[in-house]
Chains A and B, each alone.
Chain A
């Protein structure tokens, strides 16, 4: 079976532009997560979806960041008015959802975002 996929793998944009990053979770996984990883650091939690709803978006750094999962499967992370500090690898993960399965999350390869 396919794992978590993310597109694009690399995205270069200019400061002030809008970007969308896509995540296709493992089929049947109800829980979906976004993380951000800066160079030399571990991944940092951004947002968690259970089904279609964002159950916890406390990790989003500011209101320029927004994520959706309209049909409970594919998710899109949207960043408005990008800044150079947004440059990082954006990781998506999914899990079956519920109980101890939260601890075993399946990660995609990430999207490397570079803001010039």
Chain B
């Protein structure tokens, strides 16, 4: 399983765009990149998944460079309710049912 590295914590003011970068230097050819969000006292929640280039949904954007050795989760105009831990996961789309979570990035949004 590809190992991921992401910052332990980040602070941001409300209304700003937040970018969280994850390194995954040994990502395999068939690996997808998935991000989860976890609020206190709740289970993780799927945010977005991508394989290459850019993926956007109603919550976030995911940027993946051509070499796929890193990825950046972008949260537009964060609010206090975006305060959470964000996990970057790397694994294959088929047959890899074990989600391997690291420690994640604790994002604190400041008023």
Q: Which residue of B lies closest to A98 (CB)?
A: B94
With A42-B104, A43-B99 known as contacts, the answer to whether A107 contacts B43 (CB < 8 A) is yes
Quick one: which of B34, B41, B94, B98 has the most chain A CB within 10 A?
B98
Interface string of A48-72 (1 = CB under 8 A from B): 1000000110010000000000000
Assess whether B13 is interfacial by the CB under 8 Å rule: no
Number of B interface residues in the complex (CB < 8 A):
24
Q: Which residues of B contact A31 (CB under 8 A)?
A: 97
B45 near A107 with CB under 8 A, answer yes
Q: Do B42 and A103 touch (CB < 8 A)?
A: no
Q: CA A104 – CA B81 in complex, angstroms? A: 22
Task: Check if A42 sits within 8 Å of B102, measured CB to CB.
Answer: yes
Of B41, B87, B95, B103, the residue contacting A109 (CB under 8 A) is B41
B23 CB, nearest partner CB in chain A, Å = 16
B49 within 8 A of A: yes
What band does the interface of chain A fall in when counting residues whose beta carbon is under 8 Å from B?
20 to 34
Pairwise interchain contact B104-A109, C-beta atoms closer than 8 A: no
Report how far A34 CA is from B104 CA in the complex, Å: 19
Docked complex Cα distance between A101 and B68 (Å) = 21
Residue of B nearest to A4 (CB): B43
Identity of the chain A residue whose Cβ is nearest the Cβ of B45 in the assembled complex: A107
Query: What is the distance, in angstroms, from A100's C-beta to the closest C-beta of chain B?
Result: 4
Chain A nearest CB from B7 CB (Å) reads: 14
- When each residue 18-61 of chain A gets 1 if its CB lies under 8 Å from chain B and 0 otherwise, what string results? 00000000000001010100001111110010000001100100
Q: Which B residues form the contact surface with A (CB < 8 A)?
A: 32, 34, 41-46, 49, 87, 89, 91, 93-104
Q: Give A residues with C-beta under 8 Å from B.
A: 4, 31, 33, 35, 40-45, 48, 55-56, 59, 91, 93, 98-100, 102-110
